[in-house]
Amino acid sequence: MADISYRDAVTIALREALREDDRMFIMGEDIGLYGGPYAVTKGFVEEFGRERVIDTPISESAMVGAGTGSAMGGMHPVVEIMTINFTLLAMDQIVNHAAKLRYMSAGQYTVPMIIRTVTGGGAQLAATHSQSLEGWFASVPGLKVVTPATPYDALGLFRSVRNEQDPVIFVEHILLYSTRGEVPDDHYLVPLGKADVKRRGDDLTLVAYSRMVQVALDAAEELAGRGINAEVIDLRSLRPLDIGTVVESVKRTGHAIVVEEAWRTGGFGAEIASQIQEQAFDHLDAPIGRVAGAEVPTPYSQPLEMLAIPSLESVVAAVESALGR
């Protein structure tokens, strides 16, 4: 087992893919000579050349459109969108074209394109660069949305994503790049649509994804000191969604709280809560709780930004309220 950073895990995944798949290339803004805005592709252009590591103009719609067309033609593109906020400039290409071409062509065309992008706040980048929009894409049939929370999952999920014939939104949280974790030396895969129980517990189920998994785990440790044993489930992917693992846990604990960084109104947490209610209603001992981002554009001020994002304290308070403590 090697202890590596989340950033290193993504770098390993990309380098491995380029070495093993001649059809694969990556393109995005500043990913070549600059080494990537998050230093993920540092040294790639020297190793693989400019035909496979392509610096693009600042035009997300052109990048995703070119990726879609090349995927239809037999290539395996990885398109890096600097932040998920900028996917709004390519929404038509992603939602109306890449996601639907396989269906509308009756399977004559597939779009095995991977769109890597960065989500979340906490880096003091203000309102237009700190949004969590992955739930929007998870509502679109034809897209798959992957949200790894650990180095292990980032590497294992990317390996699995390479086998997909549908476009995948591979979402990396900006504050996770420096986090570390153990990764096996031997080759392994993490399947899409399989949630992971990151911490076992009997009193309540915490459901989270991306960086909120770390927040939920920290809250669970704090709660353990207060005599509350919380189970933490990492969804890993939003589409496909493994609601079965969540429901099984809730049926055992009798309580559920969904934690996400996106805004509460219209957030993906509402979908999770709805499916729990539909499938585990008779097992619930209290209403399903939700902890989400504040209903404001993300503030630039760091203290205000931290107040707008779910924290250990807000999760602990929600758990104690749900349990009547």
Could you tell me if 89 and 123 are in contact, meaning their C-beta atoms sit under 8 angstroms apart? no
Centre a 10 Å sphere on the Cβ of residue 62 and count the other Cβ atoms it contains: 15
Give the residue carrying structure tokens 């992971």.
196
The contacts found for 56-59 with CB under 8 angstroms, 24 or more apart, are: 56/27, 56/28, 56/29, 58/29, 59/89
Q: Kindly name the residue from 29, 60, 172, 261 that is annotated as catalytic.
A: 60
Give the residue carrying structure tokens 């999770």.
272
Q: Kindly name the residue from 29, 76, 80, 129 that is annotated as catalytic.
A: 129
Sign of CA dihedral 273, 274, 280, 286: positive
Q: Is 260 a catalytic residue?
A: no
Centre a 10 Å sphere on the Cβ of residue 35 and count the other Cβ atoms it contains: 16
In the numeric block, which tokens belong to residue 265? 């109104």
**CA distance to 128, 202, 230, 245, 284, per residue, from 248 (Å):** 38, 12, 14, 5, 12
Give the residue carrying structure tokens 């709780």.
289
Classify each residue of 241-265 as buried b or exposed e, where b means 16 or more C-beta atoms within 10 Å of its C-beta.
Answer: bbbebbbbbbbebbbbbbbbbbbee
Quote the CA–CA distance of 278 and 5 in Å, as a whole number.
Answer: 38
In the numeric block, which tokens belong to residue 167? 């476009």
Q: Is 129 a catalytic residue?
A: yes
Classify each residue of 67-105 as buried b or exposed e, where b means 16 or more C-beta atoms within 10 Å of its C-beta.
Answer: bbbbbbeebbbbbbbbbbbbbebbbebbbebbbbbbeee
Which residues carry out catalysis? Answer: 60, 129
